[in-house]
Amino acid sequence: MADQPPLSPNPFGTDAPTEDRVGLAVGSVLTAVAASVAWFAVLTFMVAGLRPTAGPAQIDTSAGYVNLFLYGLLGGLAFTAVTAWFLMSPIDSTFRRGGLSIVAAFLGFVVSMGITFLTNEFLGGTALLGVALVALALAVFFGRRIRAAG
């Protein structure tokens, strides 16, 4: 019995990570959020351009801009989650990567909707292109820093 090593005090046991990947995880989520803002700014710009400005108060649910918006929302969530997933590739645990990717997708959605809708309302549709460019530049900047550090 004396040949066995003592039990680990870590509650995760053998599944406990051996390296600190918190910075990588936070940076990956922030990069994915910035990429999400760029995606949704372009989507909102396109939908605002296709939407009729005058007409009935009812929305035609079979209109092209409605479908573009609905499918663009789903595509944006998937794009954000996949971006975070690939940036966190040095993390071995698929459970942690998946959970953080879902967090990035929903955080990116909330931040994007706030930024893009307020920008469109107060500054107009053209300002959405500026938001998209700034968000894309931030995503590339953060992404390069993560890849260089990892």
Q: Is 4 inside any structural domain?
A: no
pLDDT at 36 over 80: yes
Q: pLDDT digit string (tens) for 102-132?
A: 999 999 999 999 999 999 999 988 999 999 9
Q: Is 3 inside any structural domain?
A: no
Helix (H, G, I), strand (E, B) or coil at 14: helix
Q: Is 99 inside any structural domain?
A: yes
Q: What is the Cα–Cα distance from 26 to 142, expressed in whole angstroms? A: 11
Q: Is 115 inside any structural domain?
A: yes
Residues 69-80 as b or e (16 or more Cβ within 10 Å = b): beebbeebbebb
- Segments in the chain forming alpha helices (H): 22-50, 64-87, 94-122, 126-149
Task: Confirm if 33 and 104 have CB atoms less than 8 A apart.
Answer: yes
Q: What domain range is 123 assigned to?
A: 23-52+61-149
Q: What is the Cα–Cα distance from 111 to 115, expressed in whole angstroms? A: 6
Q: Is 44 inside any structural domain?
A: yes
Q: pLDDT digit string (tens) for 50-87?
A: 887 766 667 778 888 999 999 999 999 999 999 999 99
Q: Is 36 inside any structural domain?
A: yes
Total tally of structural domains belonging to the chain: 1
pTM of the model: 0.84
